[in-house]
Amino acid sequence: MSQAHPERPRWKGFLAAGTVIICWTGFNIVSRLGGKSVLTPFDIAALRFAVSAVFMLPVFIVVKNALPLFRLIAIASAGGMFYALLAYGGFVYAPAAHAGIIINGGVPLATAGLAWLWLKDRPSPRALWALGIAATGVLVIGIKSLGAPHADNPLEWLGDLFFLGAAILWACYGLMVRLWHIRPIDAVSGIAMVSAGVYLPIYVLFLPKAILHAPTSDILLQGFYQGIVAALVAAFSYAYATLSLGSGVASLTLAIVPATSAMLAVPLLGEAFGGITVVGVVLVTAGATFGALIKKTAPTPKSQPH
């Protein structure tokens, strides 16, 4: 797992990771509410990018984003446009508890796998055990969705597949932040501006939309949470945690999100979870917690991929 930046105190990194945990727990709940509303995933993505761009435009200009165009497009694609569309699409078909398990449990798995393939940064034997436990939890949910779909929701498996894609993209975002030493403010402002500039014209001209038929309360909730909390606060905090703790530890500190998402989904969404979901939550949480406690013993290769 990648090393932390020596100039950033670890306690600040864990504080940032704690902020991400809170933001992502709320993200799973609020996004599921959006998925069950008249808003389309394209509407929610448009609200996310429009609101975040309004707040980040002055920052983008004044701070002068230092990233070259290729890297701006890369992080905006992984941490912005395509991640958001896959996640919001998943919430149309699958419950919030599945998002907590597959996205938040899948991010550390994807981070470790991509770091191994991309950076030749092989996890330690203990880390492999931790990742294996978490992977079993994700697999349990996947088998449940594919093998025994709900009669009233036969496409639940498709939502889970979208969640898995979102997890892989967010892992790519974290690794790019670490590999390219991207400042958190550059990451957040770059994602906001590039995503808005590319996505919003396509949305207005071509994509299906139902935002004009949605209640004002739904629009305000999704605009505030997706555009400010998820797009700005969570993305900034995750980038900071990645630079402070390393991409592996930062991703593994999200261990609590599957449990908190599943528990909050019961009173807030009316989504009761069965024994299989409980098993998935326990396995992902245990594996990710164990992995977060593992300290890196081998240095991360400094060579960048070509």
Please give the pLDDT value at position 231: 93
Cβ atoms of 45 and 199 closer than 8 Å: yes
Query: At residue 150, what are phi and psi to the nearest 5 degrees?
Result: -70, 140
Model-level pTM?
0.83
Please give the pLDDT value at position 297: 43
Helix (H) or strand (E) holding 246: none
Please give the Cα distance from 206 to 52 (Å, whole number).
Answer: 22
How far is the CA of 109 from the CAs of 239, 248, 260, in angstroms? Answer: 18, 9, 19
Nearest to 44 by CA among 220, 233, 253: 220
Please give the pLDDT value at position 227: 96
Residues of the chain with pLDDT under 50: 1, 296-306
Please give the pLDDT value at position 97: 80
DSSP 95-143: -HHHHHHHHHHHHHHHHHHHHHHHH--PPPHHHHHHHHHHHHHHHHHHH
Q: Write down the domain spans for the chain.
A: 10-292
DSSP 161-194: HHHHHHHHHHHHHHHHHHHTT--HHHHHHHHHHH
Please give the pLDDT value at position 304: 38
Please give the pLDDT value at position 104: 81
Please give the pLDDT value at position 301: 39
